[in-house]
């Protein structure tokens, strides 16, 4: 199409886009032409006076054709032209950036690699490079994790494991800032693994008037490939906990295929799931669970075995670093009366060395039973009255106890315990819980995942229902609900559990809440009632929501111990115990400490800088800006590297610093903060190893490259259209330029239009017998 356009209009489309329209005829000549045209108009009008064989329609058509031909002649006499600013040959510079990363090795161009295109097109002997050098002073750069000058494309090895495209463009701009710069050319597949904000870089290029011409190399979609694109998993887990990971699998050419997804912990298989790749969709979300029992940093590999005839073999696996902590989560259980729930819940977690449930049970007004406390002073005055005291716990279980037991400040503290401290709250069912306990309108009601409505209901009117538990779709892959054993799945196990009862009518859940286990309830309330076969509804058995930094869970059931002691439950059935261990692990797994250390990212290529971040709080978990924070990075060999962390200023309580790992392996990073209330510390882990990030989403990213070109005033090219690059850069009006005139009156299309109009008039006359 471009060649045809140039044949008809004499110039390429870019000339019309960049040029300014003008007329070249002197003003006197233009006046004469206009007067001559005005004299010719009356002659044309005579067409309407001639009758003969012609009708009104014939006269109108002939007049229109003759007037159109006259207008074309008049336009040519005006000498229309384009005024075009072109770069003065060899007076301006351009930067040519060549992608030197490993993804350029992918052979997706009729069996040839992207690197071959770079060598052929911009090698020392290439015609395109010679044409560029005829017009400009050319400076060639190679880029990947870093950028540097290169003599030609032949110097590239395509070995770099990162692509920092935005940084490379900005670096080239700065390198050429002192010379007249006509533009920057980037030859790449569009991958950018850096965390540099693209908007800031584009804004800087626009402000300095530097156009970027992007050349996209590679296929926009592979014909046959499977890729494990991303894995979302918690970065921390208690020892023995269940890891739930969300895996995004992309595919092309494998619609409907079933493939195994394997999870390995340092080489040992800990989970396996057969997944069916969705038809008509290139991305399939998959949830997989695995139990991790070995403490310390665990390198988990999520992989799909290589399938037949895949185009890319390096993108079938992703690795994540998970810290399995062997510490003890301290949880406060406040109960309003003696009941079986206390006994069985405590027994479920008693043998778990990673969970400590501290019981505060009301035995009479103002009297409490305290069990599993660390000292005689703990909870001596009853429920905590200060945030410092309450925030020592990582979780709170709220049993069958009415809202009136707490002061308004204590209820507000419980809500802040979830939203500010980031703790986990679990509320159990009972005659004094939820709406029946008068929690409607209290500060804690906002934190609950269910809507509590008031006022409190008298005991005689309390709702009562049997509920048969069943997993919801959201609960099928959740960490809390994985109570299956051996070949028995979690869904089958839940279906076999006996019914439980509830005295708490839950009519609505919050918009952001998620139901994991639902109970089927007869319309009359009790199973076996006359209305059971007429209408049934569901109410949640386990439901949760995120509230601020923490989790709030509702279990509106008063006798879930039936899952342990029910007549249909086997004596060795561990479903109840497993459920509560996993519940308490989950709600406390992400509970922050007073210092929260994090590496961004936590996996890098060797000798790549890592950003360390630390959030520091006081005992009430309010941000602290005056702490003295430092870190020590301990290499696999034992070498220590001190890192200073400074307050980030724009974020309260946040401190940051940078360190660069010098050897491969897992680094242990200990962050220490000295505050007015004492010294606190946290540990995180970082892995330095050769990564295959270059092969993630390795198709040519046309939208990104198109955006870079459009927003900087450049153009986007493919290998098929890159031939016009030298001429397009020359017309950017950047650098040292000269104005040239491009005549339009002698374009072939104008001659063809004139001939066509005259021929059409003659042909019409012949056809109508008017000649």
Q: 166 pLDDT band (50/70/90 cuts)? A: confident
pLDDT of residue 76: 80
Per-residue model confidence (pLDDT) at position 146:
86
266 and 352 fall within a common domain: no
Residue with tokens 């690699």: 113
Given pLDDT bands bounded at 50, 70 and 90, which one contains residue 757? confident
pLDDT digits (tens, 9 = 90+) for 403-412: 999 999 999 9
- Put residue 525 in one of left, alpha, beta given phi > 0 → left and psi -120 to 50 → alpha: left
Q: Is the pLDDT of residue 581 over 90?
A: yes
pLDDT tens sequence across 702-722:
999 999 999 998 999 999 999
Q: Do the strands 136-143 and 92-99 form a parallel or antiparallel pair, or are they unpaired?
A: parallel
- Please tell me which residue, 61 or 144, carries the higher pLDDT value: 144
* CATH of residue 264: 2.60.40.150
Say yes or no: 392 and 306 in one domain. no
pLDDT score of 23 more than 80: no
User: For residue 429, what are its two tokens?
Assistant: 């069912």
Which of 170-179, 272-281, 441-450, 452-461 has maximum average pLDDT?
441-450
Nearest to 771 by CA among 33, 15, 54: 54
Final residue of a domain: which of 573, 588, 603? 588
Q: Could you tell me whether strands 654-659 and 640-647 are parallel, antiparallel, or unpaired per DSSP bridges?
A: antiparallel
pLDDT of residue 459: 58
Q: Nearest 5 degrees, angle CA 404-CA 407-CA 412?
A: 110
**Looking at the 3D structure of the chain, how many domains does it have?**
5
- Checking if the pLDDT of 539 tops 70, the result is yes
Do the bridges between strand 80-87 and strand 20-23 make them parallel or antiparallel, or are there none, so unpaired? antiparallel
Rounded CA separation 750/418 (Å): 76
Q: Is the pLDDT of residue 145 over 90?
A: no
> What is the structure's pLDDT at 329?
94
pLDDT of residue 500: 94
Q: Quick one: angle between helices 56-77 and 748-768, nearest 10?
A: 160
C-alpha closest to that of 632 among 594, 659, 604, 593: 659
Q: Are residues 566 and 664 in the same domain?
A: no
Q: Which of 70, 171, 202, 103 is nearest to 698 (CA)?
A: 103
Report which of residues 497 and 7 the model is more confident about: 497
Domain boundary among 645, 665, 688: 688
Question: Is 5's pLDDT higher than 80?
Answer: no
For the chain, give the percent of residues with pLDDT over 90: 59
Residues 536 and 621 reside in one and the same domain: no
Share of the chain above pLDDT 70, in %: 88
Checking DSSP bridges between strand 92-99 and strand 181-188, what pairing results, if any? parallel
The pLDDT value given to residue 35: 61
Among 253-262, 458-467, 477-486, name the one with the lowest average pLDDT.
458-467
What pLDDT sits at residue 83?
64
Residue 534 pLDDT: 38
The reply to whether 458 and 583 lie within a common domain is yes
Query: Longest C-alpha distance within the chain, in Å?
Result: 123
Closest CA to 242 of 302, 322, 330: 322
Q: Burial, 678: exposed, middle or buried (Cβ in 10 Å; 0-12, 13-18, 19+)?
A: exposed
Q: Which residue has the higher pLDDT, 208 or 234?
A: 234
Sign of the alpha-carbon dihedral angle for 82, 88, 94, 96: positive
- Domain span at residue 755 reads 2-86+740-768
How confident is residue 81, by pLDDT bands cut at 50, 70 and 90? confident
The backbone torsions φ and ψ at residue 195, rounded to the nearest 5 degrees and listed phi first, read -105, 20
Q: Residue 179: give its domain's CATH number.
A: 3.40.50.410
Burial (CB count <10 Å: 0-12, 13-18, 19+), residue 274: exposed
By mean pLDDT, which of 415-419, 454-458, 463-467 is the weakest? Answer: 454-458
Distance of CA 742 to the CA centre of its chain: 49
Please check the confidence at residue 30 and state whether its pLDDT lies above 70.
Answer: no
- Give SS3 for 193: coil
pLDDT at 533: 40
Nearest to 25 by CA among 75, 88, 99, 62: 75
Is the pLDDT at 731 greater than 90? The verdict is no
Instruction: Write the DSSP string, 144-161.
Output: SSSEEE-SSGGG----BS
| 667 is a domain residue | yes
**Residue 245 pairs with which residues in a beta bridge?**
288
The domain boundary residue, chosen from 650, 673, 688: 688
Q: What pLDDT sits at residue 532?
A: 40
The single-letter DSSP state of residue 617 is B
Summarize the confidence of residues 501-526 as an average pLDDT.
Answer: 84
The mean pLDDT of 121-138, rounded to a whole number, is 90
SS3 190: coil
Confidence (pLDDT) at 703: 93
The alpha carbon dihedral of 730, 731, 733, 736 has a sign of positive
Looking at residue 279, its pLDDT comes to 80
Before 601, cis peptide (omega within 30)? Answer: yes
Domain match, 308 and 414 both:
no
- Report which of 120, 131, 150, 306 is spatially closest to residue 217, judged by C-alpha positions: 120
- Are 567 and 509 found together in one domain? yes
pLDDT at site 739: 63
* pLDDT, tens digit, 9 for 90 and up, residues 286-331: 999 898 989 999 999 999 999 999 999 999 999 999 999 999 999 9
Are 33 and 139 within one domain?
A: no
Question: Would residue 583 count as lying in a domain?
Answer: yes
**Helix, strand or coil for residue 257?**
coil
User: pLDDT band at residue 89, thresholds of 50, 70 and 90?
Assistant: confident
Per-chain mean pLDDT for the chain: 87
Which residue bears the tokens 């979690």?
Answer: 490
**Residue 323, number of CB atoms within 10 A of its CB:** 16
Q: Domain for residue 725, yes or no?
A: no
Burial class (CB in 10 A: 0-12, 13-18, 19+), 85: middle
**Residue-level pLDDT at 95:** 93
Q: Is residue 449 part of a domain?
A: yes
Q: Domain containing 409 — which CATH number?
A: 3.40.50.880
d(CA 428, CA 421): 21
Nearest to 705 by CA among 692, 718, 694, 719: 718
More confident residue, 481 or 59: 481
Mark whether 258 and 120 lie in a shared domain.
no
């Amino acid at each position: 199409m471009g060649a045809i356009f140039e044949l008809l209009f004499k110039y390429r489309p870019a000339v019309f886009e960049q040029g300014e329209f003008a007329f070249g005829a002197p003003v006197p000549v233009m006046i004469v032409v206009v007067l001559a045209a005005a004299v010719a108009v009356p002659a044309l009008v005579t067409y309407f006076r001639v009758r003969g064989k012609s009708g009104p329609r014939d006269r109108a058509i002939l007049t229109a054709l003759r007037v159109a031909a006259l207008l074309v002649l008049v336009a040519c006499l005006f000498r229309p032209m384009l005024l075009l600013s072109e770069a003065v040959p060899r007076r301006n510079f351009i930067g040519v950036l060549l992608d030197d990363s490993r993804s350029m090795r992918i052979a997706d161009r009729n069996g040839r690699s992207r690197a071959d295109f770079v060598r052929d097109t911009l090698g020392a002997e290439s015609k395109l490079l010679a044409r560029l050098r005829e017009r400009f002073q050319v400076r060639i750069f190679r880029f990947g994790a870093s950028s540097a000058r290169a003599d030609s494309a032949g110097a590239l090895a395509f070995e770099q494991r990162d692509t920092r495209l935005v940084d490379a463009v900005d670096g080239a701009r700065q390198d050429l800032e002192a010379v007249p710069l006509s533009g920057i050319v980037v030859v790449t597949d569009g991958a950018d693994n850096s965390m540099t904000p693209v908007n800031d870089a584009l804004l800087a290029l626009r402000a300095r008037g530097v156009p970027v011409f992007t050349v996209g190399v590679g296929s926009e979609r592979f014909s046959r490939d499977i890729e494990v694109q991303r894995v979302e998993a918690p970065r921390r887990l208690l020892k023995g906990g269940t890891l739930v990971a969300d895996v995004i699998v992309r595919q092309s050419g494998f619609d409907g295929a079933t493939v195994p997804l394997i999870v390995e912990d340092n080489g040992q298989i800990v989970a396996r799931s057969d997944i069916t790749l969705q038809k008509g969709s290139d991305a399939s979300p998959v949830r997989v669970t695995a139990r991790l029992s070995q403490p310390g940093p665990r390198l988990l590999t999520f992989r799909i075995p290589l399938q037949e005839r895949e185009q890319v073999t390096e993108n079938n696996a992703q690795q994540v670093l998970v810290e399995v902590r062997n510490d003890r989560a301290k949880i406060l259980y406040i109960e309003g009366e003696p009941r079986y729930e206390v006994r069985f819940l405590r027994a479920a977690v008693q043998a778990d060395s990673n969970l400590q449930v501290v019981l505060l049970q009301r035995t009479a007004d103002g009297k409490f039973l305290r069990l599993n406390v660390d000292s005689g002073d703990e909870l001596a005055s009853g429920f905590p009255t200060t945030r410092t005291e309450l925030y020592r716990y990582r979780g709170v279980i709220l049993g069958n106890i009415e809202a009136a037991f707490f002061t308004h400040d204590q209820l507000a503290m419980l809500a802040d315990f979830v939203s500010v401290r980031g703790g986990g709250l679990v509320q159990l069912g009972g005659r004094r819980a939820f709406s029946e306990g008068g929690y409607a309108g209290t500060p804690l009601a906002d934190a609950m995942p269910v809507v509590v409505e008031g006022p409190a209901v008298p005991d005689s009117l309390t709702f009562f229902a049997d509920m048969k538990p069943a997993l919801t779709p959201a609960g099928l892959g959740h960490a809390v609900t994985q109570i299956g054993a051996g070949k028995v799945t979690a869904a089958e196990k839940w279906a076999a559990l006996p019914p439980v009862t509830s005295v708490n009518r839950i009519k609505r859940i919050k918009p952001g809440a998620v139901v994991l286990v639902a109970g089927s309830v007869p319309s009359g309330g009790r199973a076996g009632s006359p209305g059971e076969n007429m209408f049934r509804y569901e109410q949640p058995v386990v439901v949760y929501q995120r509230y601020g930094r923490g989790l709030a869970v509702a279990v509106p059931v008063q006798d879930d111990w039936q899952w342990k002691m029910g007549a249909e439950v086997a004596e060795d059935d561990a479903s109840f115990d497993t459920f509560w261990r996993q519940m308490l692990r989950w709600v406390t797994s992400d509970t922050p400490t007073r210092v929260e250390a994090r590496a961004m990212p936590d996996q890098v290529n060797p000798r790549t800088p890592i950003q360390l971040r630390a959030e520091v709080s006081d005992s009430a978990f309010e941000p602290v800006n005056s702490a003295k924070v430092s870190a020590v990075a301990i290499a696999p060999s034992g070498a220590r590297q001190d890192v200073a962390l400074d307050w980030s200023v724009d974020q309260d309580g946040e401190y940051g610093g940078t360190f660069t790992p010098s050897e491969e392996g897992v680094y242990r990073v200990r962050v220490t903060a000295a505050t007015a209330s004492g010294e606190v510390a946290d540990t995180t882990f970082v892995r330095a190893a050769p990564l295959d990030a270059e092969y993630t989403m390795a198709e040519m990213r046309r939208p990104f490259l198109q955006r870079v070109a459009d927003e900087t005033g450049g153009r986007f090219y493919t290998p098929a259209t890159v031939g016009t690059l030298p001429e397009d850069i020359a017309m950017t009006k950047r650098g040292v330029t000269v104005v040239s005139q491009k005549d339009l009156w002698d374009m072939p299309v104008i001659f063809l239009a004139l001939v066509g109009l005259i021929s059409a008039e003659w042909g019409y006359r012949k056809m109508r017998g008017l000649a």
